[in-house]
Structure 1
Amino acid sequence: MVGNWELMLLLTKFATYAAVSSCVGSILMQTLRSKQLRTTDTKLEAFDVWLSRWFLKWAGLGLVISLLQLPIQAGAMAENGIAGMFDPLMLSIMWQSAVGSQVSFIVVGFTLLLLSEWGINKLARFKTILRIVTVTGFILLAISFTFTGHTVELNTVFKGLLMLHILAMAAWAGSLWPLHQSCKALPADSLVTLMENFGKVAVFFVSILIACGVLLLLQLVEPISNLFTTDYGQLLMLKLIFVSGMLLLAAWHKLKLVAELAQHKNAQPLRLSILIETLLVVSVLVTTSVFTTLVGPQS
């Protein structure tokens, strides 16, 4: 039975995953849009504004969630109700632990993302420098996931693989809702170009995701039979099923639906399929939150 504190920790983990993914995906979409020919089409301009606001909302939510993480961890440790969240001793203990280090990296990461996007909107001439700040924020967020959880015992090489795995998954997962929105926001020709460009970079991200995921799987699940005999392994298998569904839909988009869009100018089938893929992403994030929060490799 999952207690209230475990549920709160689970929700904060899920919200953090969702915020990181949405931010990475938004920047990827902004980058792909910047490669397209600039026009004065109001639909394109409105979509670019929506992307920036979407990014800022999730970066802001991520920052708020990260600030709540330490008190929630302290409350879970104190087991003294809401008052435990503000117990100075418990807060001090958590701050000096790996949780404190993780929270520090997450807070700084999301703060850098907010500052960089605000700066780009106000100080466009410094866009290159500000995008470096954005990338730095993403790296700090990726590093934060190596401080706690079932991967904390991994060596430096595998922690690096974990970071790549997280960023690749975030780029793919976080792009889906903006792509879904683009189906109704962009003219057909611009939408086809965006989808084709995304399809090209998605191959790169998915390759990194799978390669790093397989190596991490072999490292974390020993022997491999534990995939079928432990709670942790079974949750991993469930995640793999969801990811496989995402891969099949992504291939269907690239090979069939985008081609039909270019021919018939009807984005509705693609939009519906992306919505289904987005629901699979939510399932992946929920499953990942469960086995990184409540279940260990030996469970």
Structure 2
Amino acid sequence: MGLELTSWEFSTLITRWLLYAGVAGSVGGICSLYLLKAHRGLQGALLKYALFAVLLAITSAFGHFFVRVGAVLEEGVSGMFEPDIVSIIWNSAVGEALLLRVLGLFLLLVALVFLWRKRKLTATWVEPGAGVAWLGFFGLLLTATSYTEAGHAVSQSWIFQLVLVVHLSLTAWWMGTLYPLWLACHRLASAEAHAVLHRFG
């Protein structure tokens, strides 16, 4: 007999994977704005990609939280917003992780909106700059650190948690740059695309 998921288990799984995809796209998108900044024609598409990804991540983070609330009562959509259960889970490690994660994603969003606004005002390519880089760095750090605030990582040593943060950051960067690389291969000349792929290893 095959494994059957309940609707709540399925919803938990979907929102979690959407969150992972959003975080990866956010990190990979911002990194690509720097790694591919020599190819100015890609900036608009990369900004749209990163903005979509960070909004997906924020939405999925909250969606995942409320799905977990609903899974406790299993009383349909209305149960997802039961104040008492929301309060209990919000004040648990799950809530602490969500707060840290959303704060990190918000910093990524601020960095991207700032760059988007600057690009709209100048109507041309803009240098990302150090400010966007620092916001992106701290946003990534907070987002990755949030995964040490809940689950089995909580009881582990700080060395384990540090390794986990580095691992998650590199994984998000690698996964999140797949679309920018695909974009480069389809929009750049063959020689330029080859150089980009060589740089990424």
Q: After TM superposition, is the score higher than 0.5?
A: yes
Among 67, 81, 84, the residue aligned to 1:89: 84
| Whole-Å separation in 2 of the counterparts to 1:173 and 1:186 | 21
For the Cα contact (< 8 Å) 2:33–2:46, is it kept in 1? yes
Cα distance in 2 for partners of 1:14, 1:83 equals 23
Q: 1:191 to 1:125 in 2, by over 3 A?
A: closer
Where do 5+ consecutive residues of structure 1 fail to align?
37-43, 200-299
Contact 1:28 1:171 in 2 (8 A): yes
Distance 1:82 1:49 in 2: 38
Match of 2:172 in 1: 170
Tell me, what secondary structure is at the counterpart of 2:152? coil
Q: Could you give the per-residue CA deviations for residues 27-64 of structure 1, whole angstroms, max 9, x where no partner exists?
A: 22221112x3xxxxxxx443221011100000011111
Among the aligned pairs, what percent are the same residue?
29
Q: Deviation of residue 126 (structure 1)?
A: 7.9
Distance, in Å, in 2 between the alignment partners of 1:10 and 1:148 is 16
- 1:16 and 2:30 correspond: no
Unaligned runs of 5+ in 2: 119-125
Q: How far apart, in 2, do the equivalents of 1:105 and 1:61 lie?
A: 17
How many residue pairs get aligned? The number is: 191
Partner of 1:3: 6
What one-letter code is carried by the residue in structure 2 that aligns with 1:14?
W
Alignment of structure 1 residues 186-225 onto 2, 5 Å: 186-199=188-201
Residue type at the aligned position of 1:117? L
RMSD: 1.7
Deviations 1:149-169 (A, max 9, x none): 333321111011001111111
| C-alpha deviation, 1:70, in angstroms | 2.3
2:154 corresponds to which of 152, 158, 163? 152
CA distance in 2 between partners of 1:67 and 1:49 (Å): 28
Give the equivalent residue in structure 1 for 2:33.
30
After TM superposition, the score normalised by the length of structure 1 is 0.60
2-side partners of 1:11 and 1:50: how far apart?
26
Q: Is the 8 A contact 2:28 2:177 kept in 1?
A: yes
- Bigger Rg over Cα: 1
Corresponding residue SS for 1:152:
helix
Kept in 2: contact 1:99–1:148 (CA 8 A): yes
Q: 2:155, 2:177 → 1: CA distance?
A: 31
